[in-house]
Structure 1
Amino acid sequence: MNRRNFLTLTGTFTGGTLLLPDFLHAFGSQSNLLLGEQCLVFIQLNGGNDGLNTFIPFEDALYYDLRSNIAINKNSVISKNKGMGFHPALKDFATMQQNGDLTVIQNVGYPEPNRSHFRSQEIWQTASDSNKYLNNGWLGRFLDLQCKEHEPTAGVNFDSIDTLSLKGNEPNSITVKDPSRFKMRMNSEETVKLSDNPQLDFVRKIANSVSEGSDDIQKALAKSTSEITYPKTALGKNLEWIARLIKGNLNSKVYYTSQNGYDTHDNQINIHQRNLTELNDAIYSFYNELKKAQLLQNVTIVVFSEFGRRVKDNGNGTDHGTAAPMFIIGGNTKGKIIGNNPNLTDLDNGDLKYDIDFRSVYASLLQHKMDFDYSKIGIQNKALQGIF
């Protein structure tokens, strides 16, 4: 059964507001779902965020020489620390770091980087080598091993499309665009067998799974309210939903969402300012909600992009590059700056050389937050120390 037919059939049960991936398989049995209250929240910056204009090497004269058209004025850089500082739009990132709740990991990338949006996102989402292709995402593989049986909301993705990161052998995640718009379309009395055809019967089984997941989400939302005013942006709304699900004890291990618009080949100053402002405001509202609910220590927020931008500007923007910073917020992070400042004198064909492999960050998250042996999902890099 192809994806289009699959979605057409299952859409009758979800009202088109739950998006189902096309990688679902028959239900199997796995080890126990990890107990505890820890969860991971991933925010993917789509398009390739310009790390050098996000966490800025303001004391490096080469930064201004190579970016004469788009460099951030030294006097505008905030929260300066050892030659680095934040874009002025990230004023609350600076506050979170001063509170000891935000860690910056510098120069994150991987060997033999790929500058294609699609392929580099795929590499980050599967934790593969740049010359290898994996069918399942790194978080999907993790959930496969952590779920004793089918857990429809072990991972929740807030987006209009599903994410490869959560794809596993079992359907342990669900993609939701707007949980306020979907209602239960059936209950146990209304469930009927669609057909004697095994493929259609399989769809019925998946539809039952979706209903179960949507019911769990509605129950969690019914037990929670927002106590913070969130910005009226797509990311702000998604993080508000995630906060309510966490507060409502949905007990998902992974939440995932994204923000678009970081492919800044042109008009970068204005576009990047707007995007970073939206990012800052949404995350700071989420952060304050979690702090107010005394849940920040249980929630680790991970902000990343598929690559950075080239060091030299193209006149009015930047082209696809390689290494860039990651940000870790909450989860009892130590609030450090990890890694060396970007070395603008030693470039690889005009791009930054990575110092820290992103898979070592994943390994640290799994080891320290999920108490999980990351080697079981094929990550061979050693866990990065100093985050927690």
Structure 2
Amino acid sequence: MNRRNFMTFTATASSGAMMLPNFLKAAAHKYASMGEQSLVFLQLDGGNDGLNTYVPFEDPLYQEYRPTIKLSADDVINKNKGMGFHQALKGLAAIQQAGDLTVLQNVGYPEPVKSHFRSQEIWQTCSKSNEYLRNGWLGRYLDVQCDDIIPTAGMNVDRIDNLALKGSEPNSITVRDVNRFKTNLQTEMDLSGHPSLDFVRTIAAGTQDGSKEIQKALKKAGQEYGYPKSALGVQLKWIAQLIKGELNSKVYYTSLGGFDTHNNQLGTHARKLTEVNDAVFSFYKNLKSAGLMERITLVIFSEFGRRVKNNGSGTDHGTAAPVFIIGGKNRGRVLGKNPDLANLSDGDLIHDIDFRSVYASLLKNKLDFDPSLIGINNSVYSGIF
């Protein structure tokens, strides 16, 4: 078989709707139940400005350092101890008032890196700033947790693969459009005479099995709940459908770009936060009404925040920022100190909570898993659940 025929075959098998490498070893598996609790991650790509998301509006230094992009008391909601949500986040504010949202303030890591790619890599692998790991923290978790290869144990609903889910075994899938994720192994090529192409058959078999399980879950989920027609709204709608259809995935992941607000930040940031708010609030109401929100923990984060001082109409890459945790019987608290704008490191916030301690808490408290088994030796951050 020549390279052109091979590429034609794999494109037919995947219907152009998934990333093939995850299926290299997924010829045979069983979809055993892995427990009730699942984690959902929403990654805000580009470095979300945490100071204008959960806002220290009463701090005079905030007003002084951000003369062109500051938000006033009239621009924030759910005011509490000098902090408040951006007014675009009315849904998240309502979730907090219902006791289902915890805010973790000043989350980051030592020796912060301001490169998008590298900082995302650190968050996705749990490496140190000067350490490079091949596999993601969730991929390592699935390697240990899965007794057999389960291609849908981790679901990445996105355009590209996510390093966080990369493991030694193919226990995750990247799907662009779950409605298009159907496979057809009929091909004009006869593979029976090519024993050296077992890996092609393996890819095809794994692709078909994953497709069947996803379509089964979608059918079982029943009538779709109303979501905004934004890209994120569609992605979270699909994740909710798979959860309601009992796909048995332990981890769901998706992302939203556009948070690199070097200029024209006020308008751009408000639009992006509105997209996040509307999609997340629909997701929350959908699963809450289905009685599933206690089993699902949604984590919203970005690879870093923005600089404290504005740079014209925008902000440059910074360090620490808030993380939001919704559902999973969290305690609905605000944890960590308010941003200390009088004590900066080269103009940046100093992190108060290490994100790896947050991951340790998720693994220990939600998945009943020892984080040290995958190299996360940070102490479990207490008070979230």
Q: Same fold by TM (over 0.5)?
A: yes
Aligned residue number for residue 101 of structure 1: 100
| Correspondences of 1:70-85 after superposition (within 5 Å) | 70-85=69-84
Asked whether 1:58 is paired with 2:53, we answer: no
Aligned residue number for residue 362 of structure 1: 359
Asked whether 1:113 is paired with 2:101, we answer: no
TM-superposed CA distance for 1:74, in Å, is 1.8
Asked whether 1:293 is paired with 2:290, we answer: yes
Superimposed CA distance per residue, residues 16-49 of structure 1 (whole angstroms, 9 cap, x where no aligned partner)? 111224x76646999x977321100000000000
Asked whether 1:235 is paired with 2:232, we answer: yes
Amino acid at match of 2:20: L
Aligned residue number for residue 260 of structure 1: 257
Asked whether 1:20 is paired with 2:20, we answer: yes
In 1, the alpha carbon distance for the partners of 2:320 and 2:45 equals: 15
TM-superposed CA distance for 1:367, in Å, is 0.3
1:372 aligned to which of 345, 353, 369: 369
In 2, the alpha carbon distance for the partners of 1:81 and 1:342 equals: 14
In 2, the alpha carbon distance for the partners of 1:228 and 1:202 equals: 39
In 2, the alpha carbon distance for the partners of 1:33 and 1:364 equals: 25
Superimposed CA distance per residue, residues 39-87 of structure 1 (whole angstroms, 9 cap, x where no aligned partner)? 0000000000000000000110000100000011221210001111000
Distance 1:45 1:226, change over 3 A: farther
In 1, the alpha carbon distance for the partners of 2:193 and 2:147 equals: 28
Distance 1:133 1:56, change over 3 A: same
In 2, the alpha carbon distance for the partners of 1:121 and 1:53 equals: 21
In 1, the alpha carbon distance for the partners of 2:32 and 2:151 equals: 12
Aligned residue number for residue 186 of structure 1: 185
Aligned residue number for residue 319 of structure 2: 322
The CA RMSD over aligned residues, in Å, is: 2.2
Distance 1:7 1:169, change over 3 A: farther
TM-superposed CA distance for 1:9, in Å, is 4.8
Conserved? CA contact 2:26–2:202, under 8 Å: no
TM-superposed CA distance for 1:204, in Å, is 2.0
SS of 2:88 mapped into structure 1: helix
Question: Structure 1 length as normaliser, TM-score?
Answer: 0.93
Conserved? CA contact 1:226–1:240, under 8 Å: no
| Correspondences of 1:201-216 after superposition (within 5 Å) | 201-216=198-213
Distance 1:59 1:287, change over 3 A: same
User: Gapped runs of 5+ residues in structure 1?
Assistant: none
| Correspondences of 1:113-192 after superposition (within 5 Å) | 113-186=112-185, 192=191
Conserved? CA contact 1:76–1:88, under 8 Å: yes
Distance 1:224 1:203, change over 3 A: same
Conserved? CA contact 2:34–2:248, under 8 Å: no
TM-superposed CA distance for 1:201, in Å, is 1.8
Aligned residue number for residue 275 of structure 2: 278
Conserved? CA contact 1:34–1:146, under 8 Å: no
In 2, the alpha carbon distance for the partners of 1:33 and 1:89 equals: 41
1:309 aligned to which of 303, 306, 311: 306
SS of 1:97 mapped into structure 2: helix
The more displaced of 175-184 and 87-96 is 175-184
In 2, the alpha carbon distance for the partners of 1:233 and 1:151 equals: 30
Distance 1:106 1:194, change over 3 A: farther
Distance 1:25 1:207, change over 3 A: closer
Aligned residue number for residue 339 of structure 1: 336
TM-superposed CA distance for 1:341, in Å, is 0.2
Conserved? CA contact 2:154–2:165, under 8 Å: yes
Question: Structure 2 length as normaliser, TM-score?
Answer: 0.94
User: Size of the alignment, in residue pairs?
Assistant: 380
Distance 1:176 1:169, change over 3 A: same
SS of 2:221 mapped into structure 1: coil
